[in-house]
Amino acid sequence: MKGTWLLVGLIVCLSAFVSAGQEQKEGKFPSLDELVKPARRALSSEEVEKMAKLLVDAISLKGWSITREKAIRALGDEIGHVAVIPILEKIARDLEEHEDIRATAVRAIAHVPDEQAVEVLISLLDEAEKALNQNPKDKGAREVYGSDEEMLRRLIALPTHLIDSKKSMAENYRLYWEKVKRKIDLRKRVFVIKIFIH
């Protein structure tokens, strides 16, 4: 039964990729280079100006607001440069921050196609796990953990058979990441997240 569901899932994924390829040719989807720029590129003056405005909205506003959430999301989606990671990480780690804002910062980090982003996500997952072990009712830690684990699963695809139940999830991801980081094209993984998830 399990094998049947796996086969069905594989067929659905393959048909989605084929249809995405056809839609790409028909001009419905942007290309990889249009949608996911290199995370360590030289920023244009327009990008710097846009990033500065987004950073002001992300940092100067407090608590949850649509404007703030959009700014945080855009730092990952539209800028997607390693320069935004420290700010997003600070927001995600802030225990005084609204849990949805923290989770949005985690997702924005996952949209930066760089090894540094994955390493920050693993570190944030580790902190969230420890916080939940101390207080299972910690809403912020729960939101960060859920968003973080989902993004790591999509970015590096840790196989379930490699998960060691004696280790924390962060440890499992860290060990697997060390094995596969040179083999994964993070730009392609972020592209799939942007096209099929959002």
145 lies in a domain? Answer: yes
What does the pLDDT look like over 119-163, one tens digit per residue? 999 999 999 999 999 999 999 999 999 999 999 999 999 999 999
CATH for 156: 1.25.10
8 lies in a domain? Answer: no
93 lies in a domain? Answer: yes
Q: Which residue has the higher pLDDT, 109 or 23?
A: 109
Q: Which residue has the higher pLDDT, 22 or 118?
A: 118
Contact present, 89 and 109 (Cβ < 8 Å): yes
What does the pLDDT look like over 24-47, one tens digit per residue? 445 577 898 889 999 999 999 999
Number of domains in the chain: 1
5 lies in a domain? Answer: no
Domain assignment of residue 87, given as a range: 36-197
Name the 3-class secondary structure at 41. coil
74 lies in a domain? Answer: yes
Q: What is the mean pLDDT of residues 101-107?
A: 97
Which residue carries 């659905």 as its tokens? 12
Per-residue burial over 8-30, b if 16 or more Cβ lie within 10 Å, else e, is eeeeeeeeeeeebeeeeeeeebe
Question: Apex CA 76: angle with CA 73 and CA 82, to 5°?
Answer: 150
115 lies in a domain? Answer: yes
**Quick one: pLDDT at residue 19?**
45
